Amino acid sequence: MNQNGRNSEPLPEGTRGTTGKLLTIQQVADLLQVPPSWVYGRTRTRSTDRIPGFRLGKYWRFEKADVETWLERQRRGA
């Protein structure tokens, strides 16, 4: 920890400099109006349309802006 009481360890890859809100699996499921199991299925590396997210220990977290960008790509059929 640094003098401000914050952890000084580096952030997970792909999260440096992000300031957006982090969402849980349940929050992403609510946002997309799908079951949490569907979101888990889209986090697997074998999924072709993988939702962008990262793991914090055993927990998945998602940047809201990344999920919204992913959703827009899905709408366009990309």
26 falls within a domain:
yes
SS3 17: coil
Number of domains in the chain: 1
Rounded Cα gap, residues 49 and 25, in angstroms: 16
Query: Does residue 50 sit within a domain?
Result: yes
Residue 51 resides in a domain: yes
* 70 falls within a domain: yes
Domain range for 47: 22-76
Residue 29 neighbours by CB under 8 Å, 6+ apart: 35, 36, 38, 39
Task: Give a yes or no: residue 16 inside a domain.
Answer: no
pLDDT given at position 5: 54
Q: Answer with the residue of higher pLDDT: 76 or 27.
A: 27
Q: What is the pLDDT of residues 3-58, one digit of tens each?
A: 555 554 555 555 455 567 899 999 999 999 999 999 999 998 776 789 999 999 99
The answer to the question of residue 57 being in a domain is yes
71 found inside a domain: yes
* Distance (Å, whole) CA 52 – CA 57: 16
- Give the model's pLDDT for residue 45: 73
